[in-house]
Amino acid sequence: MELTDATSRTVDQGGGRLGDTVYERLRDEILSGGLPAGARLSVPALAERLDVSRSPVRDAVVRLIQERLAREEPRKGAVVIEVTRDDLIAIYQVREVLEGLATRLAVENAGRRLVDDLSATLARHEQAVRAGDLSAHFEADTHFHRLVRRAAANEEVYRLLEEIQGKVRLAMRTTSVTAGPTEAVKDHRAILAAIRKGDPVAAENVAKAHVARLTRALRT
């Protein structure tokens, strides 16, 4: 699917919008598997395929490298990264601390709105698990954590966890590890209960325990 002429005209008027559009398109392709691990991110080839100039593609590839969804390789240029099981274990060790921090900050900064939003998301998650809908499970799981991260009101924590989430999604395409949707729902119930009580320390500990369980599953 090509970027439209209308989009290009919008960019001419709005500066870097095309660069953002190209970046989001390529990022989505990486996370969905359209651009698999090891795929070359050739600026000329991508520019031709997307029917845009090379400049926004080059900028988008640089952003993907900065986000560590791609890397530079000698004689190849930029390629999509592969996230191994060992990589994922290291990522989850960092995620454990950051998710705990985000959850504690969310309790300290957010109000009833967060509890209501998390409850609605958890209800969708439970329905997805009962129906055996893995796609809906992953979507609800991701949304639950994103709500907490946003409520933390800390841009650095949010940015770091979003980058980690991107790598986790990428790893799901190359590893067969699953920690179990049913267990994820149980963990989310415990996190929500701690948030509802307004106990930041308990919420942090439960969130960390959730990620620690995922890490143990990766080690087995």
Query: Which tens digits make up the pLDDT trace of 183-208?
Result: 999 999 999 999 999 999 999 999 99
Predicted confidence at residue 70, as pLDDT, reads: 94
- Compute the average pLDDT of residues 61-77: 92
What CA–CA distance (Å, rounded) separates 49 from 5? 14
| Whole-number percent of the chain with pLDDT over 70 | 90
Q: Flag whether pLDDT at 217 surpasses 70.
A: yes
What CA–CA distance (Å, rounded) separates 171 from 138? 13
Give the 3-state secondary structure of residue 154: coil
pTM of the model: 0.78
Predicted confidence at residue 200, as pLDDT, reads: 95
Q: Which of 41-45, 63-67, 173-177 has the lowest mean pLDDT?
A: 173-177
Predicted confidence at residue 15, as pLDDT, reads: 40
DSSP state of 77: E
- Compute the average pLDDT of residues 118-141: 94
| pLDDT digits 0-9 by tens, 96-124 | 999 999 999 999 998 788 999 999 999 99
Q: How many residues does the chain have?
A: 220
Give the 3-state secondary structure of residue 41: coil
Q: Flag whether pLDDT at 176 surpasses 70.
A: no
Nearest CA to 206 among 217, 190, 195? 190
Structural domains for the chain? 5-80 (1.10.10.10), 85-219 (1.20.120.530)
